[in-house]
Amino acid sequence: MVARETTQKKPHVAVLASPGMGHVTPLLELAKRLVVDHGFQVTFLAISTDAPPAQIQLLNSSTLPPDLHVIHLPHVDVSNLLTASTGVSVRIVLVVRQTLSYLPSVLTNMQPPIQSLIVDPFCGEALEFAAAFSIPTYLFLTTSASFTALTMYFPTLHAQVDGDYSKIAEKVLVPGCNPLLLDDLIPGVLMPEVLPLCNRIPLVKGVFINTWEELEPVTLGAIRKNPFFLGLPAPPVYPIGPLTKGNEDEPLTSTMESKKMLTWLDKQPPDSVVYVSFGSGGTLSGEQMSELAWGLELSQKRFVWVARPPSEVSASGSFFEAGYDAEGAASYLPDGFLDRTRERGLVISSWAPQVAVLSHGSVAGFVTHCGWNSVLESIAQGVGMIAWPLYAEQSMNARMLVDMGVAVWPKPAGERVVVGRGEVERVVRSVMEGEQGKAMRQKVIELQGTALKALGLGGSSNASLAGLADEWRAGGSL
Ligand SMILES: O=c1ccn([C@@H]2O[C@H](COP(=O)(O)OP(=O)(O)O[C@H]3O[C@H](CO)[C@@H](O)[C@H](O)[C@H]3O)[C@@H](O)[C@H]2O)c(=O)[nH]1
């Protein structure tokens, strides 16, 4: 879509993203849409501490539109705040907190002055900074409407059970929404650490969600119409998704391994390959990696696997380095695995050009940790999934995908913790062949169609953002 001609001054908006591709990618896509489709000027504030190489490349890309300016906020040192047990989320929070000390001067010196600030969930503390300068703010919750609804309901739930989530019986019933299984929410979602984010929602003028009406109609309907949500001091939600990076945005398609991967895919028959990847930081235990490898081998299907070193090796808190181990993961795979599968498998240990892979004609299945961006990219490319949630809200996402019929979720047998090779073989076959695979393909292609429609002219997500952009341009809620 072409930017609208306007004689008015371009509205100037700032976007602030925490480090990591899971947040930077959707916020950058939103920034691009505001610039390209709506004629805005956008300043993208990137946190440079802990930024993975893929993020730096994406933000330095020469393909960004001219009215999208990226500012890399100064590096901060959090090493004295870290302990051996500091997890990924806490580390991001610490990095963001330290970096925010630069925000007041950046925000107040922007020319022309910004009319609004959009932040991701990890940058919640920026909302108070912006409020001190009377800058209107918006939150971009980079996951599902379901997670958004739970976030809005969470303070009520927390108070009901007095912070003791073991008092909840089996399911969490968010008013008007599909029931959520407690097992999918613990650990990872129901944590007191989420409360500050929940309590900040009333501070913002609107909440963007990377979803679309046809994907989550029940939840979006509940947020808009259920008396519980109507009674909250919450701003409107704007489903504007799926915002995913495009094939042309893959920053690393020029690296050796990426090229090798795409060249290898070019040689495979259509719809024959399963792609295995656990997002920007997901790792498996050594035992689980071994079972997965055996399962892939037994399935006799073609595969391409972004195999990071096992979790025992990736030291705690090494989220950002986990994908860049030069040695690769081959040494952690079963003896002879690479030789035996040489003809039909490819293992890489660096960053994959994921959208290029998912959109390749040879790829027909995706073993994914169900990070929301991976989920959206898979649906946008019409690829059925094998759900392999690891942390955060990923089990919630996995359940939703299974319920929609676009994923199967392999489970460990009995009391085991790891998913065994037989189960891996079964699910890979079920997605890549047979009636279940066919039904899944049909369903995901239907969803792909609704996604395209939602983003197209007059589509629900397009209209949602356009309506807000018009309001902003008119000086409404800005
Ligand atoms: O080799 C790789 C690995 C990842 N990616 C990209 O990196 C992004 C990863 O995002 P996502 O799938 O959402 O995973 P995470 O980075 O793990 O995402 C975090 O943020 C998401 C959005 O808030 C949450 O849903 C997840 O649970 C949380 O872990 C996607 O765009 C992928 O295409 C690549 O391009 N190549």
Q: Is 371 in the pocket of ligand 1 (CB under 6 A)?
A: yes
- Please identify which residue in the block is written with the tokens 């073993």: 367
Identify the weakest region by mean pLDDT among 169-178, 228-237, 411-420, 455-464. Answer: 411-420
Please report the atom of ligand 1 found closest to the CA of residue 370. Answer: 12
Identify the pLDDT of residue 318. 39
Q: How many CB atoms lie within 10 A of CB 2?
A: 7
Identify the pLDDT of residue 371. 97
Model pTM score: 0.94
Identify the pLDDT of residue 5. 46
All residues at 6 or more sequence positions from 154 whose CB lies less than 8 Å from its CB, including other chains: 190, 194, 195, 198
Of the pLDDT bands very low, low, confident and very high (cuts 50, 70, 90), residue 89 is confident
238 burial (CB, 10 Å; 0-12 / 13-18 / 19+) is: middle
All residues at 6 or more sequence positions from 392 whose CB lies less than 8 Å from its CB, including other chains: 89, 188, 189, 371
Going by alpha carbons, the residue nearest to atom 33 of ligand 1 is 354
Give the residues across from 304 on adjacent strands.
275, 346
Max avg pLDDT among 5-19, 33-47, 187-201: 33-47
Percent of the chain with pLDDT over 70: 93
Residues 315-330 have pLDDT tens digits of: 443 334 444 444 566 7
Mean pLDDT value of segment 383-387 = 98
The span from the CA of 478 to the CA of 465, in Å, is 14
Dihedral class, residue 96 (left if φ above 0, else alpha if ψ from -120 to 50, else beta): alpha
All residues at 6 or more sequence positions from 435 whose CB lies less than 8 Å from its CB, including other chains: none
Which of 280, 347, 368, 369 is the pocket-test mutation for ligand 1 (most atoms within 8 Å of CB)? Answer: 280
Q: Is 143 in the pocket of ligand 1 (CB under 6 A)?
A: yes
Of the pLDDT bands very low, low, confident and very high (cuts 50, 70, 90), residue 1 is very low
Instruction: Report the DSSP pairing between strands 407-408 and 384-387.
Output: parallel
Identify the weakest region by mean pLDDT among 2-11, 62-71, 150-159, 302-311. Answer: 2-11
Of the pLDDT bands very low, low, confident and very high (cuts 50, 70, 90), residue 357 is very high
Going by alpha carbons, the residue nearest to atom 27 of ligand 1 is 371
Options 12, 23, 38, 360, the catalytic residue: 23
Mean pLDDT value of segment 223-250 = 92
The span from the CA of 443 to the CA of 425, in Å, is 22
Distance between Cα 254 and ligand 1 center (Å)? 20
Nearest residue to 55 (alpha-carbon basis) of 35, 80, 73, 40: 73
Going by alpha carbons, the residue nearest to atom 28 of ligand 1 is 371
Question: Is there a contact between 149 and 223 (Cβ–Cβ < 8 Å)?
Answer: yes
Nearest residue to 399 (alpha-carbon basis) of 123, 66, 177: 177
Give the residues across from 347 on adjacent strands.
305
Reading the block at residue 248, the tokens are 């042309």
Identify the pLDDT of residue 129. 87
Distance between Cα 356 and ligand 1 center (Å)? 15
Alpha-carbon dihedral sign for residues 227, 230, 234, 235: positive
Reading the block at residue 75, the tokens are 């590096």
Q: Is 281 in the pocket of ligand 1 (CB under 6 A)?
A: yes
Distance between Cα 197 and ligand 1 center (Å)? 20
Q: Is 275 in the pocket of ligand 1 (CB under 6 A)?
A: no
The span from the CA of 168 to the CA of 451, in Å, is 35
Percent of the chain with pLDDT over 90: 71
Single-letter code of the amino acid located at 428:
V
Please report the atom of ligand 1 found closest to the CA of residue 26. Answer: 31
Task: Please state the ipTM of this predicted complex.
Answer: 0.99
Going by alpha carbons, the residue nearest to atom 14 of ligand 1 is 371
Average pLDDT score over the chain: 90
Is 120 in the active site? yes
Distance between Cα 111 and ligand 1 center (Å)? 33
Residues 106-142 have pLDDT tens digits of: 988 898 999 999 999 999 889 988 988 899 999 999 9
Distance between Cα 473 and ligand 1 center (Å)? 32
Dihedral class, residue 414 (left if φ above 0, else alpha if ψ from -120 to 50, else beta): left
Q: How many CB atoms lie within 10 A of CB 391?
A: 18
Before 112, cis peptide (omega within 30)? yes
Distance between Cα 232 and ligand 1 center (Å)? 31
Which of 243, 284, 374, 375 is the pocket-test mutation for ligand 1 (most atoms within 8 Å of CB)? Answer: 374
Identify the weakest region by mean pLDDT among 3-7, 105-109, 205-209, 273-277. Answer: 3-7
Residues 358-376 have pLDDT tens digits of: 999 999 999 999 999 999 9
Please report the atom of ligand 1 found closest to the CA of residue 355. Answer: 33
Give the residues across from 187 on adjacent strands.
none
Please report the atom of ligand 1 found closest to the CA of residue 373. Answer: 13
Is 37 in the active site? no
Residues 26-85 have pLDDT tens digits of: 999 999 999 999 999 999 999 999 888 888 888 998 889 999 999 999 999 888 888 777
Identify the pLDDT of residue 171. 95
